[in-house]
C-alpha cells in the first residue's frame, strides 16, 4: 500500500476541477483496505471515498485521505436456468462493464449504456436511464465496514433503493467501501424500448430485429447527441434529480404550463422533468465564470475550462431558487458536493 501526499484530484473528477488531497491511496483489494484501516497513523484522518469521480463536485481541497476504489474483476459466480449472477469489482468502469455484458449476451443493463462512473457507484446512486434502474437487475453487494474492517453482504432490501438513492447515500454514508456488486442478468432478454426516443432511434438506425446490442447503440446515440463528453467538456451528467410531486400539484402546474413534461409514478404522484423546468426558467445555454448550463441539456452543468467548484455550486443554487420561484418546485442536486 502506497499513500501519496498532496495529490491533484483534477484527473479523478469528471468536472475536471482542480483540488488537492492531503493524502491519496489506491485500493485494489479487500486486503489493502483492511491494511489501511489497521494503520493507526491514519485512523483519525477524515476519509473520502472516490470511485469514478463522475458524481462529485469538488468545492475545496480535501484535508484528509482520499480512498480511490480500484477493485477490479468480472466473473460469473452462478448460472441458473434463466439468468447468470455476475460479480464485478466496484472499481470497474460501468460502461465498460455494460459492453462486456453485451458481448457475453448477458441481458438487463443495455438501457444503462454510457452512464459515467464506476460499478460501485451504481447501487450507491441506484443509477437509471431509459426506463431501467440498477435495482431492477441487482442481486447483492459486498462492502468493507470502515469501523470493523469486516466484509459484509447487502441484499436488495438492505440497500433501501429509491430514486437515485440508497442507504449508502443516507444512513450508511461513508461507513462502507463497496468492493463488489453482483447483478442478476437474464439469458432471455426482456427488451425495453418504450422509454424516451429509443424506438425512434431504432427506426432511424433501420434495425429490423431489436436486440440488447441494438438498444445499447440506440441509447448511446441518444446520450451522445444530448450530453457533452466529459473528456471534452467537464460535467457530471445530470446535476439535478427529476422531482416527484403530488398529482394535485402537477395538475395545477399543467393548467398554467400545458406542455410541461412529466411521467406518472403512481396514482398519487408524478415525476417532473427537471431539465424542462430549468429550461423554462431561462437557464439553458447560459454561461457564467467559465461554467454554465449546457446548450443541449439543461440538466447538465458544465465546466468550460478554468471554473472553480464553488462557481458551479453557486450557479446550481441560483437555478434552485429560480425554479422554486417560478414553479413552486424544489429541485435536489444529484451530485455529491465536497
The pLDDT tens digits for 129-155 are 888 999 999 999 999 999 999 999 999
Residues taking part in catalysis: 164, 238, 334
| pLDDT of res. 265 | 85
Mean pLDDT on 20-41: 93
Helix 94-104 to helix 212-226 angle (10° resolution) is 150
CA atoms of 123 and 141, how far apart (whole Å): 8
| pLDDT of res. 193 | 84
Q: Does the structure show a pLDDT above 70 at 71?
A: yes
| pLDDT of res. 200 | 85
CA atoms of 90 and 178, how far apart (whole Å): 6
| pLDDT of res. 196 | 65
Q: Does the structure show a pLDDT above 80 at 208?
A: no
- Cell readout for 68 is 480511490
Q: Does the structure show a pLDDT above 80 at 330?
A: yes
DSSP 177: E
The pLDDT tens digits for 265-294 are 888 999 999 999 999 999 999 998 899 999
Mean pLDDT on 181-194: 91
Using a pLDDT cut of 70, give the percent of the chain over it: 100
- Cell readout for 307 is 471554473
| pLDDT of res. 209 | 78
Using a pLDDT cut of 90, give the percent of the chain over it: 75
| pLDDT of res. 219 | 92
**CA 273 vs CA 170, 232, 239: distances in Å:** 24, 26, 13
The pLDDT tens digits for 224-243 are 988 888 888 999 988 999 99
Q: What is the average pLDDT value for the chain, to the nearest integer?
A: 93
Would the pTM count as exceeding 0.75? yes
Amino acid at each position: 500500500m502506497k499513500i501519496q501526499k498532496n495529490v491533484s484530484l483534477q484527473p479523478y473528477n469528471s468536472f475536471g476541477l482542480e483540488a488537492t488531497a492531503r493524502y491519496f491511496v489506491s485500493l485494489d483489494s479487500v486486503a489493502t483496505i483492511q491494511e489501511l484501516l489497521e494503520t493507526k497513523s491514519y485512523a483519525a484522518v477524515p476519509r473520502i471515498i472516490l470511485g469514478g469521480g463522475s458524481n462529485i463536485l469538488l468545492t475545496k481541497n480535501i484535508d484528509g485521505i482520499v480512498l480511490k476504489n480500484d477493485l477490479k474483476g468480472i466473473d460469473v459466480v452462478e448460472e441458473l436456468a434463466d439468468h447468470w449472477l455476475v460479480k464485478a469489482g466496484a472499481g470497474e468502469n460501468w460502461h465498460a462493464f455494460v459492453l462486456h455484458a453485451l458481448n457475453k449476451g448477458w441481458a438487463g443493463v443495455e438501457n444503462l449504456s454510457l452512464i459515467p462512473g464506476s460499478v460501485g457507484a451504481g447501487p450507491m446512486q441506484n443509477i437509471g436511464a431509459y426506463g431501467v434502474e440498477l435495482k431492477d437487475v441487482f442481486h447483492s453487494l459486498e462492502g468493507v465496514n470502515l469501523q470493523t474492517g469486516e466484509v459484509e453482504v447487502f441484499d436488495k432490501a438492505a440497500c433501501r433503493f429509491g430514486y437515485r438513492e440508497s442507504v449508502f447515500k443516507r444512513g450508511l454514508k461513508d461507513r462502507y467501501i463497496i468492493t463488489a456488486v453482483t447483478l442478476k442478468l437474464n439469458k432471455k432478454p426482456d427488451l425495453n424500448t418504450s422509454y424516451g426516443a429509443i424506438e425512434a432511434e431504432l427506426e432511424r438506425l433501420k434495425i429490423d430485429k431489436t436486440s440488447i446490442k441494438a438498444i445499447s447503440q440506440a441509447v448511446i446515440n441518444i446520450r451522445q447527441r444530448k450530453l457533452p463528453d466529459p473528456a471534452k467538456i467537464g460535467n457530471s451528467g445530470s446535476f439535478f434529480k427529476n422531482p416527484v410531486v403530488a398529482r394535485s400539484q402537477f395538475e395545477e402546474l399543467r393548467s398554467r404550463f400545458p406542455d410541461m413534461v412529466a411521467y406518472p409514478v403512481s396514482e398519487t404522484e408524478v415525476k417532473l422533468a427537471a431539465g424542462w423546468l430549468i429550461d423554462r426558467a431561462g437557464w439553458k445555454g447560459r454561461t457564467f465564470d467559465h461554467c454554465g448550463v449546457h446548450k443541449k441539456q439543461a440538466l447538465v452543468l458544465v465546466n468550460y475550462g478554468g471554473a472553480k467548484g464553488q462557481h458551479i455550486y453557486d450557479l446550481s443554487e441560483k437555478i434552485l431558487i429560480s425554479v422554486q420561484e417560478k414553479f413552486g418546485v424544489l429541485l435536489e442536486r444529484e451530485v455529491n458536493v465536497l
